[in-house]
Amino acid sequence: MSHEVKELVKRLRPSLSLGEYGKIFTDTTSYMNISYGDVIEIDNQHYLVLRDEAERSFGIEDPKYWVKRCIHLETGERRILKLVFHEKFMLKLGSLEIPCYRSPEKEARILDLVRDDLRFMQGFSRFDKKGNIVRIIQVIKGKRLDHHVFELEVPHRDYFHEHLPAILEKFLDSCLAIRYLHDHQEIHGDIRRDHLWIEHGSGRYRWIDFDYTYEFEENPFGLDIFGLGSLLIFLVGKQIYTLSNLASQGFSPDTAAAFNQGDFSLLYKNRIVNLRKLFPYIPEKLNLVLMHFSNRAEIFYESVDEFLAELEPCIKEIKKS
């Protein structure tokens, strides 16, 4: 089969030089067997596999063997192919346990729903010869929003007053994008700080990765809203704070004693939500928005509109200050 791949590459992309030539796959069921130099053939189009994608967090790479970085041989453009992979787990939110799982079909629906809406990644789905639904994604040229924020080399006070208002104004538009999904009875399903990217050139914020879904009877959109809240906490703080990293961020050893259980996230137990105890110049109204996602909260946001109704005036207050 290597000869077939070599001839295919030579015909469609003669300028491309490969160290190895693999096989042609029309069935993507066994995605672990598909690697560098192989070609995935979908709907008479050919995608040369360069590598497996990986999620990077805390300096650790977590390979995603079912997600392939490819070259579309017919056009030479980079594409990401997401193959069928199923997993299921339980997420704890306070005393609730929420079933979460991957749904390739749901991601395919959303790709159709958000076509040409550049607040989201773009792509389409096709079936392979065995009926597996493959999502073919355009690569966003840019960087993660959290990396951009973390790399701003200014003290928190300067960041808060000089950079955060503009970041939050774009974040508002990203929240409205999530509301658009909810208005169509869809959810993002996995809102995290590494799933919102800044596109080079345009500066546009764009959501990626829609294949997670969940079953939350109390509020079908609840985890999306908690995801937006967790992202907001990161943006306001410029990073995530826990008791264990306060000293390394220049806080005195007795700072930790000021916190109680109610000051931490309901979803991520070790994350500090009550940031006003670290940065007293954070307006009380903004801190109250953050505290809706804490262990202390008794009332939760039911919709993106409720969340934005309280967040938007806070941005104007930061600008005035």
pLDDT, tens only, 232-268: 999 999 999 999 999 988 899 889 999 999 999 998 8
What CATH number is given to the structural domain containing 179?
Answer: 1.10.510.10
Query: Quick one: tokens of 101?
Result: 């799982």
Close Cβ partners of 272 (under 8 Å, ≥ 6 residues apart): 237, 241, 242, 243, 259, 263, 264, 265, 278
Residue 38 pLDDT greater than 70, yes or no: yes
Residue 271 resides in a domain? yes
Average pLDDT over residues 213-240: 94
Q: In this structure, are 150 and 60 located in the same domain? A: no
Where is average pLDDT lowest: 199-208, 213-222, 267-276? 213-222
Residue 113 pLDDT greater than 90, yes or no: yes
Taking only the tens place, the pLDDT of each residue in 185-213 is 999 999 999 999 999 999 999 999 999 99
Where is average pLDDT lowest: 9-23, 77-91, 187-201, 268-282? 9-23
Q: What type of residue sits at position 313?
A: P
Question: pLDDT-derived band of residue 281, with 50, 70 and 90 as boundaries?
Answer: very high
CA 42 from chain centre, in angstroms, equals 26
Task: Report whether 188 contacts 178 (CB < 8 A).
Answer: yes
Q: In this structure, are 186 and 282 located in the same domain? A: yes
Residue 27 pLDDT greater than 90, yes or no: yes
Question: What pLDDT score was predicted for residue 57?
Answer: 59
To the nearest whole number, what is the mean pLDDT of the chain?
A: 94
Give SS3 for 267.
coil
Residue 45 pLDDT greater than 90, yes or no: yes
Task: Report whether 144 contacts 197 (CB < 8 A).
Answer: yes
Query: Quick one: tokens of 220?
Result: 């079908």
Other CB atoms within 10 Å distance of the CB of residue 181: 21
Average pLDDT over residues 282-295: 96
Beta bridge partners of 198: 143, 205
Question: What pLDDT score was predicted for residue 267?
Answer: 87
Q: What type of residue sits at position 83?
A: L
CA distance 231 to 289: 12
Range of the domain at 14: 2-83
CA distance 153 to 130: 51
Round the CA-based radius of gyration of the chain to a whole number and report it.
Answer: 22
Residue 48 resides in a domain? yes
CA 227 from chain centre, in angstroms, equals 10
Q: In this structure, are 29 and 166 located in the same domain? A: no
What CATH number is given to the structural domain containing 46?
Answer: 2.30.30
Residue 137 resides in a domain? no
Extended strands (E) in 15-119? 24-25, 39-42, 45-57, 60-72, 78-82, 88-93, 96-102
Close Cβ partners of 245 (under 8 Å, ≥ 6 residues apart): none
Question: What pLDDT score was predicted for residue 62?
Answer: 78
CA distance 84 to 103: 9
Q: In this structure, are 52 and 170 located in the same domain? A: no
CA 259 from chain centre, in angstroms, equals 29
Residue 45 resides in a domain? yes
Question: What pLDDT score was predicted for residue 105?
Answer: 97
Q: In this structure, are 78 and 170 located in the same domain? A: no
Task: Report whether 82 contacts 211 (CB < 8 A).
Answer: yes
Residue 92 resides in a domain? no
Residue 59 pLDDT greater than 70, yes or no: no
Whole-prediction pTM: 0.94
What secondary structure does DSSP assign to 173-242, as a single string? HHHHHHHHHHHTT-------GGGEEEETTT--EEE----EEE--TT-TTHHHHHHHHHHHHHHHHSS---
Q: In this structure, are 40 and 152 located in the same domain? A: no
Average pLDDT over residues 104-133: 98
Q: In this structure, are 79 and 192 located in the same domain? A: no
Q: In this structure, are 63 and 146 located in the same domain? A: no
As a whole-number percent, the residues of the chain with pLDDT over 90 amount to 81
Residue 129 resides in a domain? no
Number of domains in the chain: 2
